[in-house]
Structures are given as C-alpha cells and as structure tokens.
C-alpha cells in the first residue's frame, strides 16, 4: 500500500470525515470515504478502513453500517450532543448579553463543529446575533477567567468599574479608583453575568456586572467574608435578590390573588408555603432583599398582590407611590 505523508493520522481523519459528513439521517459510502481520505493525502485499502471502523466502535463511536443494493453506507448514529441540545446551547449564547457579538459568533461556530455539516446548517438558520443587545466589553472572557482563578486561589481582586455616559463613552466610577473585594461566586441573572463579592470595608455582599469590570488584578490578600458564604447557596440567593440590587434581607408577607400562584412559585420556588385566605386569595411569606426593584416587581403585579408586612416595607411602597405621583404630576 502506498504511503501518504499523513498516513499516521488516518484513523483521526477517518473519525473527522464521519463526524462532519454523517448523522442519523445522512451516511457515506466506502468509496467516498477513500476519496475524502485522499484529499487529506492519505491512501488506504478498504480492508484497513474496515479495521479502523471497528477500532472506532471499540473506542465508543456509534458507527452503523447499512447495505443498500450492493453498497455499504456508514454513519455516526448517536453523538455526545443531540441537535436539540445544540440548539439550546446556541440560544443560550445568543441571549447572553454579557457576550459581545464577535465572541457570540465565535462560540456558535464552535458549537456548529459539534454537529455534522447537515445539522450545522440547521443551527445557522436560527442565528440572530447581530441585532441583539450585547455588551461592548471584549475582555469579558478574561474577566471570568481571572475571577475563577482568584476564587480557586482564595485571593481578593482589585478592578476598575465603569458606566456608559450620554455620549456612549466609558466613564469610570469612583473617579477611576480601584474597587477591592473578595470574590465568592458568579451568577447569570437577567441575561447578565454578575460577580457576587464581599466588601470588607462596608461589611456587606455586593454585586458587579462582569462586563463592566476593567483591569482585574488578583492580589496576594486572602479573601474576607467566609462567615457570610459558609452556607451560601447561589440558587436560593438569586431568588431573594431582584435585578442583582443590594438591600436588607427581610421576611415579607404578600397577599395575592389565586391567579398569581404560578408567578410566585416561578420566582420563589416550590418550597414556599402558600396559605389560603378565603376562596380567591392566599398569603405567602418569602425572604427577599428589599430594594426598589422588588417594590416595582410587586407593583407590576397590579392589584393582584399587596405587601402586608413588615410595616417599614409597606411604608417604602407608599413613599415610592408618592414619588411617582410627584414625578408624573398626578
């Protein structure tokens, strides 16, 4: 058998050919396999390909051979990711605000590489990244990597934080002074990526949009706030916090119409205790971080939801209503 320059890579190229050109509904003949190998500078006999196919099967690749007329056709029947799962990954990348358009397209291209060329074309038809609202901070990947490194190394970080001004320019907050915090978790909330950290100066937990962090540096100082995070559950915490805005955590009682049961469960989970109050209403006590965002979430539910206690939260609602009336000259 003649030897091509890439002969030692024959098995790897065979795997590549099968993964790119076959799936559950598309197969390839032995003749086409030999031709495609030849394009890679590899010559082979049919018998050697049969042996290679068997080696791939033993490795765990689900290769199926089916005879049609006098020709055998081969395909990879099952892959690590099903097409529906790849579509879900593409949707997640598309909807992630914290990813730039460029980085989103790069990731989607890599996801397409997990499918055959036929399935990849189906993924391409659902790509609508260019008109999505996306971050403009290309350093997001490095930010996430630095934060994970700091968490793993039990180290504090320092960074600058910015906001957009009316001229659509980056404007550093705190006059450009560096923030110094102890990173403990990352959370994806409302299509944005947030750092959850402990501020030792103010002795509170704070949140920062990862795509608005600049020049992250890992310091030699060990993290603070261990006692706050010793039993920290990110999923439970996310249910309490609205829009990732900080505030005082409080046990709040809400009076709701029965029709809002699904809304309350979707927000706070099935572990809450719903207490019927008459035939058309119920009461529920939930732990929330009280902020204007929480108050406006309640307001958005209309007359179907009313905060009952504690009184200072009820007073905060009244003050916000008063402020809105003044703002709109009601």
Query: What is the domain-level CATH number for residue 261?
Result: 3.30.70
Between these two residues, 325 and 170, which has the higher pLDDT value? Answer: 325
List b or e across 254-289, with b for residues whose CB sees 16 or more CB atoms inside 10 angstroms: bebbeebeebbeeebeeeeeeeeeeeebbebebebb
Strand order in the sheet with 248-257: 274-277, 281-290, 248-257, 305-309
| Predicted pLDDT of residue 2 | 46
Which residues 6+ apart lie within 8 Å of 326 measured at CB?
none
Residue 13 in domain: yes
Radius of gyration (C-alpha) of the chain in whole angstroms: 28
Please say whether the beta carbons of 9 and 16 come within 8 A.
Answer: no
14 pLDDT more than 80: yes
| Predicted pLDDT of residue 135 | 64
- The residue among 135, 138, 123, 120 whose CA lies nearest residue 91 is 123
Check whether residue 218 and residue 146 sit in a common domain: yes
Mean pLDDT value across residues 213-233: 90
Characterize the bridge pairing of strands 155-164 and 274-277: unpaired
Residue 237 in domain: no
Instruction: Please write the tens of the pLDDT for every residue from 110-126.
Output: 999 999 999 988 886 55
Residue 44 in domain: yes
Instruction: Please write the tens of the pLDDT for every residue from 298-330.
Output: 999 999 999 999 999 999 999 999 999 999 998
Grade residue 204 by pLDDT with cuts at 50, 70 and 90. Answer: confident
| Predicted pLDDT of residue 243 | 67
Q: How many domains does the chain have?
A: 4
Mean pLDDT value across residues 189-204: 85
205 pLDDT more than 60: yes
Domain of residue 262, residue span? 248-327
Residue 316 in domain: yes
Poorest-pLDDT segment among 33-47, 130-144, 158-172: 130-144
Q: Which of 203, 232, 261 represents a domain boundary (last residue)?
A: 232
Residue 93 in domain: yes
CATH number at residue 42: 1.10.10.10
| Predicted pLDDT of residue 316 | 95
Residue 238 in domain: no
Instruction: Please write the tens of the pLDDT for every residue from 250-294.
Output: 999 999 999 999 999 988 888 899 999 999 999 999 999 898 989
Average pLDDT, the chain: 88
| Predicted pLDDT of residue 219 | 96
CATH number at residue 167: 2.30.30
Strongest mean pLDDT among 72-86, 159-173, 189-203: 72-86
Max Cα distance, the chain (Å): 90
Please say whether the beta carbons of 77 and 62 come within 8 A.
Answer: yes
Grade residue 1 by pLDDT with cuts at 50, 70 and 90. Answer: very low
């Amino acid at each position: 058998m003649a030897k091509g320059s890439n002969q030692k890579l024959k098995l790897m190229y065979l795997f590549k050919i099968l993964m790119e050109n076959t799936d559950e509904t598309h197969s390839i003949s032995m003749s086409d396999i030999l031709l495609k190998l030849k394009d890679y500078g590899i010559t082979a006999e049919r018998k050697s390909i049969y042996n290679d196919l068997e080696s791939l099967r033993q490795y765990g690749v689900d290769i199926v051979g089916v005879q049609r007329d006098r020709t055998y056709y081969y395909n990879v029947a099952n892959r690590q990711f099903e097409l529906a799962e790849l579509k879900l990954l593409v949707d997640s990348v598309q909807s992630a605000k914290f990813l730039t358009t460029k980085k989103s397209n790069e990731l989607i291209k890599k996801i397409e590489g997990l499918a055959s060329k036929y399935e990849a074309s189906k993924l391409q038809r659902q790509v609508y990244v260019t008109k999505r609202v996306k971050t403009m901070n290309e350093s997001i990947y490095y930010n996430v990597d630095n934060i994970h490194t700091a968490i793993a190394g039990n180290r504090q970080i320092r960074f600058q934080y910015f906001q957009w001004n009316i001229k659509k320019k980056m404007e550093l907050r705190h006059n450009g002074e560096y923030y110094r915090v102890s990173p403990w978790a990352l959370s994806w909330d409302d299509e944005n990526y947030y750092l959850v950290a402990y501020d030792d100066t103010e002795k509170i937990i704070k949140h920062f949009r990862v795509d608005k962090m600049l020049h992250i540096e890992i310091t030699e100082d060990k993290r603070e706030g261990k006692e706050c995070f010793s039993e920290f559950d990110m999923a439970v915490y996310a249910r309490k916090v609205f829009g990732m805005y900080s505030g005082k955590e409080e046990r709040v009682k809400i009076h709701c119409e029965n029709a809002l049961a699904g809304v309350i469960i979707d927000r706070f989970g099935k572990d809450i205790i719903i207490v019927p109050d008459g035939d058309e209403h119920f009461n529920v006590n939930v732990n929330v971080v009280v902020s204007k965002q929480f108050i406006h979430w309640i307001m958005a539910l209309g007359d179907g939801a009313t905060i009952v206690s504690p009184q200072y939260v009820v007073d905060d609602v009244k003050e916000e209503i008063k402020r809105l009336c003044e703002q709109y000259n009601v």
